[in-house]
Every structure is written in C-alpha cells, then in structure tokens.
C-alpha cells in the first residue's frame, strides 16, 4: 500500500486513516467493517543502528502506537531483512508478513465464525492458495481491492490468478484514499 500511496500522491506518501479506508471500502459493498488487520514490518535495524535506522524505527513505532490506539485494528508485524545486490547495494525486504496474513486467513472461520465476507487489499498471488481454501472450507466470499496498470513487469502489474481466485475484484482509486486523508495541523 505504501508504493501505491506514494504513486497516487505524485511521489509524496498520502497520509490517510487506515480504518476510514477500510470502512469506506466495506460500505461500497453494504458491509460493516468490524476489524482491520494491518500487516507490516518495522524498518531494518543493524546490530549497531545508524542514526537513520533509529530515525526510521522511531517513526515506525510512533505510527504503530497511533494505529494501536484503535482497538478495532489488529497489527501484525514481520521483520525486515537486508541483503545486497551484486554491486553491494542494499536491498530491503519484508519477511514473514505474508505468512502472518496466510495464517490469519486459515484461522478465520475459527476466530470469527460469523464472518461471511472479507475484503483483502493486496496484489500478491502468494495468497491464492489460502483464499481458495477459505472459500472452499469456510464458504467465505473474498472481495479483492487492488491496483494494477496492465504493464507486464511494472511495480503495479497484477496476475490474473489473484483476480480469478477472489469472488469480486475492485480497483483502488485515488479518491478512495482522498476521502480518508489526515488534515495536517499547522
């Protein structure tokens, strides 16, 4: 969602209320949003964190603390891994985040037996097996919200497999975020 927020914000991250967005997406389908599950990873921290790493971690911690004030938001965190490309340039990747989401999807019917529909905001085909499983075993409808641009190998390309395994798919638009923007105090 971070890449999309930056793209739709013309290079600047849109600062928006995550729960407001969830409620508005649910409302479009005449649903009521009971819980928002937010999956993320804290920024990378080396054994002896640099000032930049400390600054990013402090910002992340502040963000998570603010989100966790809303008891209807469940925050699940993986970790961030640093590797290097062949030129020695660092590459940062979230690890474990997809697994946490997959675990939560697989326990959905036991944890929330009354749930009949979920909204998933993603573009990751790694969730297809879990989506197929919950639809089959739990008889749960999966509504996918995603963003794509139909350009192969772009950062917003999307597999037809993900669209095909969900019950409904909808394209996220800038207006979805704009309706939930934080108003910055001066």
Q: DSSP states of 29-74 as a string? A: TT-----EEEEE-PPP--SS--HHHHHHHHHHHHHHHHHHTSTTEE
**Distance from C-alpha of 148 to C-alpha of 157, rounded to nearest angstrom:** 5
What pTM value is reported for the model? 0.87
pLDDT of residue 153: 64
**Distance from C-alpha of 84 to C-alpha of 180, rounded to nearest angstrom:** 37
CATH architecture of 2-36+71-78+96-178: 3-Layer(aba) Sandwich (3.40)
Count CB neighbours of 133 within 10 A. Answer: 15
Which is it for the CA torsion 159, 127, 116, 17, positive or negative? negative
Q: Output the CA torsion 127→133→139→141 (10° steps).
A: 10
pLDDT of residue 184: 58
Three-class SS of residue 22? helix
Q: Residue 39 in contact with residue 101, Cβ under 8 Å?
A: yes
To which H or E segment does residue 145 belong?
A: strand 141-146
pLDDT of residue 94: 94
Low-confidence ranges of the chain (pLDDT < 70): 150-157, 184-186
């Amino acid at each position: 969602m971070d890449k999309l927020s930056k793209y739709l914000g013309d290079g600047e991250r849109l600062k928006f209320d995550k729960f407001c967005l969830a409620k508005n997406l649910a409302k479009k389908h005449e649903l009521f949003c009971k819980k928002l599950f937010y999956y993320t990873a804290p920024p990378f921290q080396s054994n002896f964190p640099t000032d930049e790493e400390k600054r990013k971690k402090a910002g992340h911690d502040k963000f998570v603390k603010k989100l966790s004030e809303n008891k209807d938001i469940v925050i699940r965190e993986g970790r961030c891994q640093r590797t290097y490309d062949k030129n020695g340039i660092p590459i940062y990747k979230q690890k474990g985040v997809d697994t946490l989401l997959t675990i939560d999807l697989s326990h959905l019917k036991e944890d929330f037996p009354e749930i009949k529909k979920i909204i998933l905001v993603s573009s990751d085909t790694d969730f297809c097996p879990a989506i197929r499983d919950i639809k089959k075993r739990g008889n749960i409808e999966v509504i996918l919200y995603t963003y794509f641009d139909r350009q192969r190998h772009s950062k917003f390309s999307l597999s037809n497999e993900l669209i095909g395994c969900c019950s409904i798919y909808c394209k996220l638009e800038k207006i979805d975020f704009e309706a939930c923007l934080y108003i910055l105090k001066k």
